Amino acid sequence: MKSKGMIAAVAVAVVVVGFLGYQYMRVRAEAAKWSGPIKEIVEENASKDGDVTTTHFVSIIDAPLDKVQAALWNVEHSQDMVENVRMSKLVQQETNSKTIEMHLQALNLPLQYFTMKFTLDPAAHRISFKTVESQLQDLEGYYQLEASPDGTKTRVDYESKGRDKVALPFPQSVVDSANRETFVNTMRGAKKAAQASS
């Protein structure tokens, strides 16, 4: 009787380990898609110091600055323009700030829940953001926009610092790929929205 119980326990353990291994391999395979050159990223740098990851991306969008700024500032509609955003809901709005509840899924990682505060400095063409509430990571950063000399393109400098609230069970390369995927999809969504409003 004991040996049957032992066999059943071993069988369950094998199934659980197999499933976790499969999930890990799926995440690694998805992350690999986002390594290497991507046309939406013209410059990038990522580093980790302790539990803080600093990420910097630069993208060039083929649309005028005012249209790109309006698209990025329309953050409460992110779920309609950014593939990774599953839900974006306006919680509070003041003149140049918005608090947004967001559900984000990058790669095949678990869904993350954030409440973020976004602040627009229209004269400086800068949108800053900061986590108000989150499960796994606190984020703080900005999008800095600059028009090309002929006004037809916009340079987007993105910088963020993410502080882990819990130890993540994935290698840093997976986290970096998730950040790349989210940035690229945000730039694609901003470009589509900016060009549609031109």
What pLDDT digit, counting tens, does each position of 111-122 carry? Answer: 888 899 999 999
Q: 154-164 and 137-147 as β-strands: parallel, antiparallel, unpaired?
A: antiparallel
Q: Taking 60 as the threshold, does the pLDDT of residue 22 lie above it?
A: no
Please tell me the predicted confidence (pLDDT) of residue 169.
62
Reported pTM: 0.78
Please tell me the predicted confidence (pLDDT) of residue 28.
42
> What is each CA distance from 88 to 49, 81, 148, in whole angstroms?
30, 11, 30
62-76 exposure pattern, b = at least 16 Cβ within 10 A, e = fewer: ebbbbbbbebbbbbb
Please tell me the predicted confidence (pLDDT) of residue 198.
62
Please tell me the predicted confidence (pLDDT) of residue 40.
84
Specify the CATH number for 34-196; select among 3.30.530.20, 1.20.1290.10, 3.40.50.300, 3.30.830.10: 3.30.530.20
Please tell me the predicted confidence (pLDDT) of residue 170.
67
- The domain locations on the chain are 34-196
Percent of the chain with pLDDT over 90: 51
Label residue 172 by pLDDT band (50, 70, 90): confident
Burial of residue 151, with CB atoms counted within 10 A of its CB: 0-12 exposed, 13-18 middle, 19 or more buried: exposed
Nearest to 156 by CA among 180, 191, 123: 191
Please tell me the predicted confidence (pLDDT) of residue 122.
95
Nearest to 128 by CA among 111, 106, 145: 145
pLDDT digits (tens, 9 = 90+) for 29-83: 443 333 445 688 999 998 988 888 899 999 999 999 999 999 999 999 999 999 8
